[in-house]
């Protein structure tokens, strides 16, 4: 019996375990994903940032009003959001810090809801520098061996002091 034949069951078992691990999302993977998004955004890498999103991703912008209600500001497709982002990065200097507050993994391990918040410092020509804060909510999914976002909802809020 050759060594390959003798080791075949162990190799198949190891391959099966590796494949099973790829089919299940972890909190660590979700947090690393958000860190990669932040790094691409802060590097002004619009192409790299939007490569983290599924083709059918939807982006929702809204704001919390003074009475605790939500005011819708807009909804964008992946293409629309990419075009808006390109205009934004050419006109502004900025940095953004994202924080993951909670990761809720679906029972099947194939998707996760990532809840967090972000703080953005923006400098625009002819305007005073400003800091904006938002609560974030995005759903991550495993698709064809890749971890992608189905989009993000940003709810503008007052920045904590």
Please tell me the predicted confidence (pLDDT) of residue 66. Answer: 83
Give me the chain's average pLDDT, please: 88
Going from N- to C-terminal start, the domains of the chain cover 25-157
3 state DSSP class of 108:
coil
DSSP β-ladder status, 111-123 and 93-105:
antiparallel
* 25-157 CATH fold: Nuclear Transport Factor 2; Chain: A, (3.10.450)
Average confidence (pLDDT) over 9-20: 42
Please check whether residue 48 is in contact with residue 40, taking contact to mean a CB–CB distance below 8 angstroms: yes
The pLDDT score that the predictor gives to residue 103 is: 98
Whole-model pTM: value is 0.82
Q: Which pLDDT value is given to residue 24?
A: 85
| CA distance readout (Å), 37 to 30, 90, 116, 129 | 11, 18, 13, 23
């Amino acid at each position: 019996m050759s060594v390959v034949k003798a080791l075949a069951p162990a190799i198949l078992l190891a391959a099966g375990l590796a494949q099973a691990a790829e089919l299940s999302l972890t909190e660590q993977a979700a947090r690393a994903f958000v860190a990669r998004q932040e790094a691409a955004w802060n590097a002004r890498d619009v192409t790299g940032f939007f490569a983290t999103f599924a083709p059918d991703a939807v982006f929702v912008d809204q704001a919390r009003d003074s009475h605790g209600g939500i005011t819708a500001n807009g909804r964008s497709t992946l293409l629309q959001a990419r075009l808006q982002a390109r205009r934004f990065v050419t006109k502004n200097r900025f940095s953004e810090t994202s924080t993951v507050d909670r990761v809720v993994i679906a029972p099947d391990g194939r998707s996760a809801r990532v809840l967090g918040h972000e703080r953005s410092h923006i400098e625009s020509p002819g305007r005073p520098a400003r800091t904006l804060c938002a609560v974030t909510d995005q759903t991550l999914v495993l698709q064809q061996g890749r971890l992608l976002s189905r989009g993000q909802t940003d709810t503008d809020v007052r920045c904590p002091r």
